[in-house]
Chain A
Amino acid sequence: MTSFLQQTFNGLVSGGFYALLALGLAVIFGMLRVVNFAHGAVYMLGAFGAVVLADSAGLGFWWALLLVPLALAVAGTLLERLLIRRLAALDPLYNFLLTFGIALVCQDLLRMKYGSHSQPYEDAPFTGSVDLGLFDFPRYQVFVLAVSVAVCLAVWLVLTRTRVGTIVRAATERPELTRAFGIDTGRWVTPVFGFGVGLAALAGVLAAPMRAVNSSMGGDLIITVFAVVVIGGLGSVFGSVLAGFVIGMLQALGNLYVPVLSQTSVFLLMAVVLLIRPAGLFGKEEHA
């Protein structure tokens, strides 16, 4: 029972990472119809950003948590302005391929600079653990889970309760109709892209104290996140987040009961979902 709860908790924590990444992918896809392959690379850059800030400027975790997502969000908006926009009129496949190329370049640039071994990150806040009777919760992981849940909730509230959120949702679901109402959807494309990139960078900074920081940390993760959004429904923010947490738990509990299937379980679940609901659990049928 203790190990079950322990694994459920671990699953929720890694689910938080999936949710943050899937959320970013979902808003970017919604607004731009771009599946950002470079999302995993941004996550990796976020973790490296924290390491670099600590090593070169002596800036600790909290500074990294603030500065790195901001810096990468700005880089993301530049990327959108300079490159991604140029392919917006074409088949979405071209932007998928472009971001794939960008991901490869980022990954290998970091490998050139730092090699393939992991970088140490010592600036973790909240060391130690809290004892809640059943087992010890590492305090930092409790913090990560709280942040990811809070961010997902905040984004959801913004999307559902504010005017900006209404515009973004409208532009996501009916771009032509939204424009016909005189709303300049183009204005929101770049900020939304930057925001999605910032979310991935935030996940990366959060990962730095608890995961191995190396050049390949994003590549494998992004493929699992793709499976997450296929399961949740790529067009659905809610579905992506929920699927993120569910799959985190599925993997962790799989690790406990059927270790062989732990890593493949997410893809098996994806197969089942495709069989029953090709558009994903919360997605709508659409051609893209």
Chain B
Amino acid sequence: MIFALLGKLRRYPAPLRWGLLAAGLLAALGLPWALYPPVAADILCWGLFAVAFDLLLGHAGLLSFGHAAFWGTSAYATGLIAIHSGLPFYVPVLGGAAAAALLAAPIGWLAVRRSGIYFAMVTLAFAQMVYFIANQWGDVTGGENGLQGIPRELPGIDLSDSFVFYYAMLPVVLLGLAAAWRIVRSPFGRVVAAVRENPDRVRALGYSADRYKLVVFVVSAFLSGLAGGLYAVNHGFASLQEVYWTTSGKVVVMTVLGGIGTLWGSLIGAAAVVRLEDWLSTAGFEETGLVTGGVFIVAVLVFRRGVWGTIAHVAGVRGGGERAEHEPHVQEPDGTPQRVPS
């Protein structure tokens, strides 16, 4: 969060930059005081997941509709490693993320053959395959019951208190966010953005567009895996819900709500959705899809820049809502819709 913020702030005057940075840091540190700590931890997990997802959607222009596969695979893998090894939870979480990246390699290799809407359908279908496997491989995953009793281990520190656990997992999330920010600002990230804008030209320059897409896909899956593993440790179990397609949809809504391509707006989107769902379930309202779906419809129809994209746009900051900036105008001056070449 902090590093992502730093990157954005390069274009602001220095006092504002440091002010926002401090505010972000304070928010991250103070969150478990303001909210019920397990919910605060959930916000961190979903926030990292949404940033990892936006790395792919906002910066590579690839809408994966199957990111639940990576979040969920890591949740299961993390859980299995933690249960069977008893190592400090950082190790299982890293192992889970590695498992997610390993799974992402073949899926990504096949999926990058298609772009746009096809890419979304292909990733969705592969994620559903992972769901079926998790469902059928009951000996390992617990099937319908999920994987129960995932321990939170850290020698010398008692992590049973969610408040303490929040601070134990915070560094992992910050490292993940820093990695996402670093990738976007790197020469590699520049090529990825160029692939999004004009793949043919990038190919003409001698880059393999597909290889860049594949690498960013795997990196995104790795970071999603970090988030999913932490989530499993936070809750002490991994369920089929983690690999189900609604989870893929949830991370999309977070990113759209925060602002596609703003990277750190995803954190705001994640916080908003997690808070909303927590509030609803506390109130005994179980049909969260009704709300997520409604938010989706509104965001896509009238709020395409998202929260952070809108703020950046209003403030006139270049680079705020990078994707939104390239978004074609819906209406021509004479009011006729204009179809833009994709």
- Which residues of A pack against B, CB within 8 Å? 35, 83, 85-94, 96-98, 100-105, 107-109, 111-112, 219-220, 223-224, 226-227, 229-230, 234, 260, 263-264, 266-268, 270-271, 274-275, 278, 287-288
Contacts and interface: CB of A to CB of B under 8 A. Distances in A.
23 contacts: A35-B117, A88-B337, A89-B328, A89-B338, A89-B340, A91-B327, A91-B342, A93-B116, A98-B296, A98-B301, A101-B295, A101-B297, A103-B293, A104-B246, A104-B249, A104-B289, A107-B289, A108-B289, A224-B125, A227-B125, A264-B129, A270-B122, A274-B110
B115 interface: yes
Interface in B328-342: 328, 330, 337-340, 342
Given A83-B297, A92-B117, A98-B296, 17 more contacts: A86-B301, A88-B339, A91-B327, A91-B342, A96-B120, A100-B296, A102-B297, A105-B289, A107-B293, A108-B287, A109-B287, A223-B245, A230-B121, A264-B133, A267-B126, A278-B114, A287-B115
How big is chain B's contact interface, by range?
Answer: 35 or more
Contacts, number: 143
A268 B130 CA distance: 11
A96 B245 CA distance: 14
Which residue, B125, B128, B290, B296, has most C-beta atoms of chain A within 10 A?
B125
B328 A90 contact: yes
Interface in B101-122: 110-111, 113-118, 120-122
Nearest to B291: A108
Interface of B: 63, 110-111, 113-118, 120-122, 124-126, 128-129, 132-133, 136, 245-246, 249, 252-253, 256, 287-290, 292-297, 300-301, 304, 327-328, 330, 337-340, 342
Contacts of A226: 121, 124-125
Contacts of A274: 110-111, 113-114, 122
A220 B128 CA distance: 8
A105 B290 contact: yes
Given A105-B290, A270-B122, A92 B116 contact: yes
Contact of A278 (B113, B136, B245, B289): B113
- 4 closest A-B pairs by beta carbon, nearest first, are A104-B293, A101-B296, A267-B129, A105-B293
A270 B129 CA distance: 11
A223 B294 contact: no
B257 to A, nearest CB: 11
B124 A94 contact: no
Given A86-B301, A105-B290, A274-B110, A230 B296 contact: no
Nearest to B115: A287
A107 B290 CA distance: 8
Given A94-B304, A264-B129, A274-B122, A108 B115 contact: no
Which residue, A89, A234, A260, A263, has most C-beta atoms of chain B within 10 A?
A89
